[in-house]
């Protein structure tokens, strides 16, 4: 694709989306520290609502030449069916649990600080009320998402390993938090909770066996292909068919994203 600029990118995704208003929006990709791990996920796989297509645009590639990897959700499902069917069966029956701790201090670019505590997160603050009746947050907020991890691809009608559980797996491995209380000391000395992959339970959530997640990670890494960025490049991802990730990089980079849907398409949860 010929090299284009940001305005051209906005016009491009708008044209792709045709009547869909989602195409107007172009946002920065996750601004978390470039050293942070962001491994395999379908965009918004932790939520019941997610885009059908993810479009990335490279405004400025990193000097270190970091590439963006993708892996096939469909091929991963097929291989897991042969090599770890118990993971798929339990995933379909129990769905996944993602716990998030939203910090009281706004932290840009991190899932745990994405605006829950901004002054207008739940509408304008009514300053006419007495101070004691105004909404105030003094601590953190724990939120649990319970979301299916296997969906039917809406046009191919085949199952897709559609989730963001690999990140939980990567951090539980990095900080060895597979056992309660799931806390570890970070490099800066602070204590933090890193919840491992979990199935949702009626009475309590259960940690997914590490060997099952190791197998999934092994297969995800086996199907990897990477794309090297040049300024002006555009990548269009079928979010129901492809998981993407982010590799650490050095220096400054700007990659923008646009998420959009096609009316009528929905990846319904797969029943086992
Ligand atoms: Fe993403």
Task: Output DSSP code: residue 243.
Answer: E
DSSP 8-state assignment for residue 68: E
**Percentage, residues of the chain above pLDDT 70:** 77
Query: What per-residue confidence (pLDDT) applies to 174?
Result: 95
Helices 210-222 and 165-175 pack at an angle, to 10 degrees, of 110
- pLDDT one-digit tens code per residue, 178-219: 999 999 998 888 898 999 999 998 788 999 999 999 999 999
pTM over 0.75? The answer is yes
Query: What kind and span of H or E run contains 142?
Result: strand 141-147
Q: Tell me, in angstroms, the distance from the centre of ligand 1 to residue 43's CA.
A: 5
Is the preceding peptide bond at 181 cis, omega within 30 degrees of 0? yes
Is the C-alpha dihedral spanning 9, 51, 254, 243 positive or negative? negative
Fold of 6-18+31-119+136-260: Double-stranded beta-helix (3.60.130)
pLDDT at residue 232 tops 70: yes
In this model, does residue 224 exceed pLDDT 70? yes
Question: For residue 225, is pLDDT > 90?
Answer: yes
Q: Judge whether residue 75 has pLDDT over 70.
A: yes
117 has pLDDT over 70: no
How far does residue 203's CA lie from ligand 1's centre (Å)?
31
Residue 91 predicted with pLDDT over 60: yes
CB atoms within 10 A of CB 202: 6
**Sequence-separated (6 or more) residues with CB below 8 Å from residue 5:** 59, 232
User: How do 254-260 and 67-72 pair as beta strands?
Assistant: unpaired
138: CA distance to ligand 1 center in Å? 30
Ligand 1 center to 130 CA (angstroms)? 42
CA–centroid distance, 119 to ligand 1, in Å, is 26
| Count of residues making up the chain | 272
Q: Pick from 6-10, 33-37, 266-270 the range whose average pLDDT is largest.
A: 266-270
Element containing residue 10 per DSSP (H, E)? helix 6-17
What is the distance in A from the centroid of ligand 1 to the CA of 188? 26
Percent of the chain surpassing pLDDT 90:
46
- 176/180 Cα distance (integer angstroms): 11
The larger pLDDT score, comparing residue 77 to residue 57, is at 77
User: What pLDDT was estimated at residue 21?
Assistant: 41
Asked whether the predicted pLDDT for residue 141 surpasses 60, the reply is yes
CA angle 93, 99, 100 (to 5 degrees): 150
Mean pLDDT of 153-167: 96
**3-state SS assignment for residue 2:** coil
Torsion region of 255: left, alpha or beta (phi above 0 gives left; psi -120 to 50 gives alpha): beta
Q: Determine the pLDDT at residue 106.
A: 58
Mean pLDDT, range 148-164, rounded to an integer: 96
pLDDT band at 255 (very low <50, low <70, confident <90, very high): confident
Distance from Cα 47 to the centre of ligand 1, integer Å:
13
């Amino acid at each position: 694709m010929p090299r284009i600029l940001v305005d051209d990118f906005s016009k491009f995704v708008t044209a792709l989306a045709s009547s869909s208003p989602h195409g107007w929006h172009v946002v920065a990709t996750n601004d978390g520290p470039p050293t942070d791990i962001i491994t395999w996920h379908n965009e918004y796989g932790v939520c019941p609502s997610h885009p059908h297509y993810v479009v990335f645009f490279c405004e400025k590639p990193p000097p270190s030449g970091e590439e963006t990897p993708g892996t096939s959700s469909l091929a991963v499902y097929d291989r897991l069916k042969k090599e770890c069917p118990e993971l798929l069966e339990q995933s379909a029956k129990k769905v996944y649990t993602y716990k998030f701790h939203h910090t009281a201090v706004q932290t840009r670019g991190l899932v745990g600080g994405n605006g829950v505590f901004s002054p207008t997160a739940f509408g304008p603050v009514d300053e006419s009320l007495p101070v004691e009746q105004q909404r105030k947050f003094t601590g953190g907020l724990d939120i649990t998402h319970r979301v299916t991890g296997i969906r039917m691809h809406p046009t191919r009608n085949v199952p897709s390993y559609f989730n963001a559980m690999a990140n939980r797996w990567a951090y539980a491995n990095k900080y060895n938090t597979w056992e309660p209380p799931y806390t570890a000391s970070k490099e800066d000395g602070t204590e933090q909770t890193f919840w491992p992959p979990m199935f949702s339970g009626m009475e309590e959530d259960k940690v997914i066996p590490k060997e099952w997640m190791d197998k999934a990670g092994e297969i995800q890494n086996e199907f990897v292909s990477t794309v090297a960025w040049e300024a002006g490049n555009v990548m269009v991802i079928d979010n129901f068919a492809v998981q993407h990730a982010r590799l650490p990089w050095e220096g400054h980079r700007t990659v923008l994203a646009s998420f959009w849907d096609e009316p009528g398409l929905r990846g319904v949860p797969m029943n086992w």
